[in-house]
Chain A
Amino acid sequence: MASEVTAARLPLTGADGFLRAFDADTRRRNGASHLAQVVLRVGPGFDAEAFRTVLAEVTRANPILRAPIRRTLGMGTPSYRLDAARNPDWPAFVVHPPGPAAPGAAPDALPPVPALFHERLNEVRRARRGELLRVDAVPRGGERPGTDLAFTWLHMLLDGSGSERFLRFLEERRAGRAPPVPPADRPGAPPEHALPPSARERGAMATSWRRHMEELGALSVRSLAGPVRGVRQALVYDLLSFSVEESARIKARAAARAGFLTPTPFYIAVAVRAHDAVLRTRGTVPESYVVPLPVDLRPKGGEGAVFRTRVSMIWLQVPAARTGDLAALLADLKEKRRQAIRAHQVENGVAAMGYALLAPAHLYAFLTRRALHGELCSFLFAWTGAFCQGLESFFGAPVLDGFHAPAVPASPGSGVFFSERGGRLHMTHVRQQGVLSEAERRLFRGSLMKDLTGAG
């Protein structure tokens, strides 16, 4: 299964293959690529020309940034074709004219991000031509001037942790403190997660994962968008941000109930109940909620790679009957997470995703949705912790804020992503337009606020 790493070809990871399958499925059904985005909001002083120079230099040293993704002669496992990374228009970097001042923004708050940033999530990228990364810079006027930057990439290129490492790497490179190639991305760097050498063992791991996924289908699942169908992807996102004081209270609440280092089940429980509140008003409550939880595979404490996806997933399922009580739901999620880790589902998932590199992409996507009758999951979720910790300035400008906005497929049509920056908790809700009415959106938000803060 392993493809040879050469100076010309860099094989996709299994997780890359998983995302590639969904990219192919999204393009076919929904007319968009499967992208991800990071927004970085900086104050005055951003040096766009220095950024352009460093981005070009880093791209020359790391051709993966514009490498076509292809199979050789349409066969074998797909690779980044580093030897064909020549598209001069990519990565794309555009400085736009200043946007109009946002009405009604509070004096000490940053205005909403430009609508352009939402539009970028719905584009088509031609991976075979290396159209992988685009950066948009929009100057910001008003009470808190500066620049808003959106980095939007084909999701295979960077996972969430990798995208933050990439931003830090760019800044370190600008300051002359980083080598041109991140050490853990150099050819010959050891893989993050070594699978057993025996094909039989890997097959057993993948089979265990597949059985686990099939068991999820024993209870019905329903997302806000319903099962997969051919609709044009039209993603938007809301950013819910809390003050430093509110964030401290929420984090303390999460830590007391789920653990200082393991708050994730608390945030998942809150998100499940918000989705459940909407489905109950529709009268379409499923038997269960299924939420995939991404797990970073990079070495803990070591130098982690920047490029390619280094993620496995834990698939958590809880009965809808548990959603009425936050404490009971949280206890169930904690236990399911523990069981999955005990059963080595993280490692089994890595083995299973490796097979995604062999199957035709759309077939793999079909097989993944078959267990849940056309649904992928109830919604997507991530808790990414402190955003770009240690990155205080970026190309001459102070970093004011930042968050993740990954795309979600049109089905499930909803993704909830928590992070924090500067002591402030953020929740990005990425959703397919039309998946929530205005009344449902208020209900969703109200449920989240109530459970996060414990008020009401």
Chain B
Amino acid sequence: MGEWTRERLVELIHRVLRDDLLSVGQDFTPASNLIEAGLDSLAVTQLMLSIEETTGVWVDESLLTPENLESSETLAACVHEHVHDL
């Protein structure tokens, strides 16, 4: 689990959102607001399941706040805390 650095998590989250879950353009960056980009209840669960599948860590949706859903970077920071709680 220590191999999952915050940077790798940012890259993972951004890629899954950009390529699989959201319909976004070239201006979607790791700093883009996820709610404004269209993240909804289905997509956020699909994202967390994708993170679980890749990292082995499940982060419950009840822990996701507007603050840590601001961007791929803030979400990665939230996930990183849980990865290193193990």
Contact = CB atoms under 8 A, between A and B. Distances in A.
Is A bound to B? yes
B40 A261 contact: yes
Interface residues of B, number: 24
A300 B39 contact: yes
B21 to A, nearest CB: 6
Interface string B62-74: 1111100100000
A385 B38 CA distance: 13
Sorting the interface of chain A by its residue count into under 10, 10 to 19, 20 to 34 or 35 or more gives: 20 to 34
A341 B22 contact: no
A258 B61 contact: yes
A317 to B, nearest CB: 18
A346 interface: yes
Nearest to A383: B41
A229 interface: no
Contacts of B45: 262, 337-338, 341
B43 A300 contact: yes
B12 to A, nearest CB: 18
Contact of B38 (A260, A302, A337, A338): A302
A259 B39 contact: no
Given A299-B23, A301-B22, A302-B23, A261 B41 contact: yes
Contacts of B40: 261, 296, 300
Contacts of B37: 300-301
A175 interface: no
B77 interface: no
B24 A301 contact: yes
A259 B64 contact: yes
A341 B40 CA distance: 14
B46 A334 contact: no
B86 interface: no
Contacts of A300: 21-23, 37-40, 43
B6 to A, nearest CB: 22
Interface in A389-430: none
Contacts of A263: 41
A301 B45 CA distance: 16
A260 B65 contact: yes
Nearest to A301: B38
Contacts of B85: none
Contact of B64 (A257, A261, A342): A261
A239 B58 CA distance: 38
B61 A341 contact: no
B49 A260 contact: no
Given A296-B40, A300-B40, A259 B60 contact: yes
Contacts of A359: none
Given A261-B41, A262-B44, A301-B37, A334 B22 contact: no
A295 interface: yes
A260 B66 contact: yes
A259 B38 contact: no
B39 A261 contact: yes
A264 interface: yes
B18 to A, nearest CB: 10
Nearest to A266: B62
Contacts of B39: 261, 300-301
Given A341-B49, A342-B49, A259 B42 contact: no
Interface in A253-274: 255-264
Contacts of A255: 62, 65
Interface string B7-25: 0000000000000011110
Interface of B: 21-24, 35, 37-46, 49, 60-66, 69
29 contacts: A255-B65, A257-B62, A258-B61, A259-B44, A259-B64, A260-B64, A260-B66, A261-B61, A261-B64, A261-B69, A262-B41, A262-B44, A262-B61, A262-B62, A263-B41, A296-B40, A296-B42, A300-B37, A300-B38, A300-B39, A301-B22, A301-B23, A301-B24, A301-B37, A334-B61, A337-B45, A338-B49, A341-B45, A346-B42
Interface of A: 255-264, 295-296, 299-302, 334, 337-338, 341-342, 346
The 4 closest A-B pairs by CB, nearest first: A301-B38, A302-B23, A259-B61, A299-B23
